[in-house]
């Protein structure tokens, strides 16, 4: 991130954030030269909107205002009011925002020398056929992680001319694998499937992510950032869908639904076990797990420390206790306006977070990255200024 993006807003100046290390760096040789990103709507920087345009299908609601209002001033295909974690990570390593794979009017990526984003909003880890066989429909796309990997392989010849060249490129690249897997559960939960059935998906989701990582290792990649799932029990959408649950289902300290958060923790536990297996098989490979769940839970336990006044209610939505309605979602007419100050909200549209929340998550991710000797040594030539804000 550049120096200006590292200056805390005035109303955050007194925030005590002991785990936050803010990194100011300038791009030089020695650190990552390229970022490749895979995932879903938490990471998509414009692929679904371009797919919709190329296929002449109806544009998604997040392709309309007020999406993008905080940073870009217009919708970019990002499912937020501004930047995502992937944007802050790119800035943090002195790289430009990652262009979407479907990046222009011809449906081909452009300006890809420093990275490409293959994430598609609505994408699942498991192939779409798996869900169709079980009567689960994906309302957004049929893209899965396997399809995104095919996109990646299609773009490699534009970046390197031989197997050895590609291995050299990937050795100096950061691969961001996710977040992915959330939609494997979201579509099923919100279409009425039982928790018992959905829980059976989790090992397959974790294994699919691990298999994709191993495939990329085979091509030469050595550094991966793998985020876990966010606490879905704190999501405005889930809180609305399961509204009226027994009082005992809710965490009295946060208002989140406990059993849904436990489901997220189960996914993260299995994912980390798969990552540990890869580390043992490939000791030369660096796999960094980004603990999105516990980072985000800090917002719900101590919102004022992060400048949040609303944790469970969406900034942009169709009303109700959590300001969320699937029938009148943000971006759909007439919901083309949002709260006055998105930075005081954790949730942007009931499903996705605000730029402010993503900024805090990215800062915690950088702390995790720079606590790893390999990353510190790799990026040692950078001008690094680490400050603890008290």
pLDDT of residue 103: 77
Exposure of 134 in the CB half-sphere (CA atoms within 13 A): 20
pTM for the model: 0.89
pLDDT of residue 17: 34
181, 131 contact by CB (below 8 A): no
Catalytic residue, candidates 187, 267, 286, 352: 352
pLDDT of residue 107: 54
Region 330-344 average pLDDT: 92
- Answer whether residue 14 shows pLDDT above 60: no
Over the stretch 350-361, which tens digit does the pLDDT of each residue have? 999 999 999 999
State yes or no: is 41 an active-site residue. Answer: yes
State yes or no: is 352 an active-site residue. Answer: yes
pLDDT of residue 380: 57
Share of the chain above pLDDT 70, in %: 87
Q: Which of the two residues, 276 and 62, has the higher pLDDT score?
A: 276
- Answer whether residue 296 shows pLDDT above 70: yes
53, 106 contact by CB (below 8 A): no
Of 336-340, 342-346, 386-390, the poorest mean pLDDT is in 386-390
Q: Which residues pair with 347 in a beta bridge?
A: 353
pLDDT of residue 29: 39
pLDDT of residue 187: 95
Token pair belonging to 75: 């919708």
Region 83-102 average pLDDT: 94
pLDDT of residue 387: 32
Nearest alpha-carbon partner for 121 in 189, 162, 61: 61
Work out whether the CA dihedral 309, 312, 315, 317 comes out positive or negative.
Answer: negative
- Answer whether residue 18 shows pLDDT above 70: no
pLDDT of residue 40: 98
Which strands sit side by side in the sheet containing 34-38, from one edge to the other?
A: 115-117, 34-38, 173-177, 223-227, 286-290
State yes or no: is 154 an active-site residue. Answer: no
Mean pLDDT of the chain: 88
- Answer whether residue 26 shows pLDDT above 60: no
For residue 297, CA distances in Å to 12, 99, 232, 251, 268 come to: 19, 30, 10, 12, 14
Nearest alpha-carbon partner for 19 in 356, 291, 382: 291
Of 122-126, 164-168, 376-380, the poorest mean pLDDT is in 376-380
Catalytic residue, candidates 37, 40, 41, 264: 41
Helix (H) or strand (E) holding 38: strand 34-38
272, 206 contact by CB (below 8 A): no
Of 11-15, 362-366, 368-372, the poorest mean pLDDT is in 11-15
Token pair belonging to 156: 């490699």
Over the stretch 213-255, which tens digit does the pLDDT of each residue have? 999 999 999 999 999 999 999 999 999 999 988 999 999 999 9
Alpha helices in 220-330 (DSSP H): 236-241, 258-281, 292-301
Token pair belonging to 31: 């650190």
User: CA-to-CA distance for 151 and 38, rounded, in angstroms?
Assistant: 10
User: CA-to-CA distance for 387 and 369, rounded, in angstroms?
Assistant: 15
pLDDT of residue 104: 62
């Amino acid at each position: 991130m550049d120096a200006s993006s590292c200056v805390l807003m005035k109303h955050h100046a007194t925030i005590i954030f002991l785990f936050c290390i803010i990194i100011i760096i300038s791009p030089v040789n020695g650190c990552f030269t390229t970022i490749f990103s895979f995932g879903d709507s938490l990471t998509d920087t414009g692929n679904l909107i371009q797919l919709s345009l190329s296929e002449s299908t109806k544009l998604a609601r997040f392709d309309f205002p007020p999406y993008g209002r905080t940073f870009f001033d217009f919708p970019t295909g990002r499912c937020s009011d501004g930047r995502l974690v992937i944007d802050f990570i790119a800035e943090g390593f002195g790289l430009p925002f990652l262009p979407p794979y479907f990046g222009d009017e011809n449906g081909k990526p452009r300006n890809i020398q420093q990275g490409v984003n293959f994430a598609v909003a609505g994408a699942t880890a498991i192939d779409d056929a798996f869900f169709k066989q079980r009567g689960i429909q994906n309302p957004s796309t049929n893209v899965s992680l396997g399809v995104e990997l095919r996109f990646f392989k299609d773009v490699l010849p534009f970046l390197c001319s031989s197997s050895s060249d590609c291995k050299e490129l990937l050795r100096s690249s950061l691969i961001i694998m996710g977040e992915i897997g959330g939609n494997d559960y979201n579509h099923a939960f919100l279409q009425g499937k039982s928790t018992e059935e959905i829980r059976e998906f989790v090992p397959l989701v974790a294994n699919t992510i691990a298999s994709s990582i191993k495939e990329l290792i085979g091509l030469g990649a050595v550094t991966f950032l793998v985020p876990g799932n966010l606490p879905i029990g704190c999501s405005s959408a889930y809180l609305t869908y399961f509204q009226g649950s027994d009082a005992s289902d809710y965490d009295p300290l946060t208002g989140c639904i406990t059993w849904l958060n436990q489901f997220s923790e189960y996914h993260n536990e299995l994912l980390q076990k798969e990552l540990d297996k890869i580390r043992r098989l490939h000791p030369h490979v660096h796999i960094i797990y980004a603990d999105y769940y516990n980072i985000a839970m800090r917002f719900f336990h101590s919102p004022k420390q992060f400048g949040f006044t609303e944790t469970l209610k969406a900034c942009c939505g169709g009303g109700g206790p959590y300001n969320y309605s699937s029938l009148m979602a943000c971006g759909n007419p007439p919901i083309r306006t949002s709260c006055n100050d998105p930075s005081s909200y954790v949730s942007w549209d009931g499903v996705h977070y605000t730029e402010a929340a993503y900024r805090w998550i990215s800062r915690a991710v950088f702390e995790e990255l720079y606590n790893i000797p390999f990353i510190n040594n790799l990026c040692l030539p950078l001008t690094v200024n680490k400050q603890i804000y008290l």
